[in-house]
């Protein structure tokens, strides 16, 4: 996959902006909804919204050495997270099936940030495998911070297909770019692939394999 280079990506600034702002907003909504579900006050809603909305992108930028993170350089990111917090505070009673809403928004944020993290990594001349890894970290970062602050087990540590969805979406993006597909189209397919896998995993209760526990009755135990 040596054919992927920063010069060949031709990433429009509007694409970066759209992915980052969309990811920030939906992840911030998921953080605010989790805070509302746990009966946090307005401060708690703001904290979880900001942490979830900005955490993934800031993790990406710090690991890439792009400091201060873009969320600190551009006020629109913080304002977007605060807007999501305000929407949750004022309208959270309108959300039906709150647990599902949180997980659906989380799936969208996972897909958007997995793709944006992968694209930015490639733009910084990282190879395909490190770019996929950093894309996965970017996608999962905000959710991990959100869950830890809310004293929940991070979704990435549960058996649900979560990080694997980000890996597959980022891998789809890299393969499509290697095949020469337009960057914006490849990014859109990568986002949809991640969201689709995650939503299907939720719908059909797909779970990642885990180490088998050996028992005395297991012939392999000896």
pLDDT over 90 at 45, yes or no: yes
63's enclosing H/E stretch is: helix 42-64
Classify residue 137 by burial, with Cβ atoms within 10 Å: 0-12, 13-18, 19+. Answer: buried
50's enclosing H/E stretch is: helix 42-64
CA-nearest of 157, 67, 52 to 113 is 52
129-177 pLDDT, tens digit per residue, is: 999 999 999 999 988 999 999 999 887 887 778 889 999 999 999 999 9
Three-state DSSP class for 203? helix
Q: What is the mean pLDDT of residues 87-108?
A: 81
Neighbours of 187 (CB within 10 A): 25
Q: What are phi and psi of 207, to 5 degrees?
A: -135, 150
Which band of pLDDT confidence, cut at 50, 70 and 90, is reported for residue 219? low
What is the rounded distance in angstroms from the CA atom of residue 23 to the CA atom of residue 20? 5
pLDDT of residue 214: 59
pLDDT over 70 at 182, yes or no: yes
29-39 pLDDT, tens digit per residue, is: 999 999 998 99
Q: What is the pTM of this model?
A: 0.85
């Amino acid at each position: 996959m040596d054919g992927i280079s920063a010069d060949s990506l031709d990433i429009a600034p509007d694409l970066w902006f759209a992915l980052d702002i969309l990811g920030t907003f939906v992840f911030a909504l998921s953080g605010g909804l989790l805070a509302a579900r746990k009966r946090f006050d307005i401060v708690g809603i703001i904290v979880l919204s900001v942490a979830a909305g900005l955490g993934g992108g800031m993790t990406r930028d710090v690991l890439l050495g792009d400091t201060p993170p873009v969320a600190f350089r551009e006020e629109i990111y913080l304002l977007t997270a605060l807007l999501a917090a305000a929407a949750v505070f004022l309208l959270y009673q309108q959300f039906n099936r709150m647990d599902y809403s949180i997980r659906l928004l989380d799936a969208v944020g996972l897909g958007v940030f997995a793709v944006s993290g992968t694209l930015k990594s490639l733009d910084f001349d990282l190879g395909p495998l490190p770019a996929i890894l950093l894309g996965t970290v970017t996608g999962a970062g905000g959710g991990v911070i959100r869950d830890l602050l809310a004293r929940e087990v991070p979704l990435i540590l549960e058996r649900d297909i979560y990080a694997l969805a980000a890996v597959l979406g980022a891998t789809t993006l890299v393969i499509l770019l290697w095949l020469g597909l337009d960057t914006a189209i490849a990014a859109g397919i990568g986002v949809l692939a991640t969201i689709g896998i995650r939503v299907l995993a939720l719908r059909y209760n797909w779970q990642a394999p885990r180490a088998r526990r050996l028992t005395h009755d297991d012939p392999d135990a000896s």
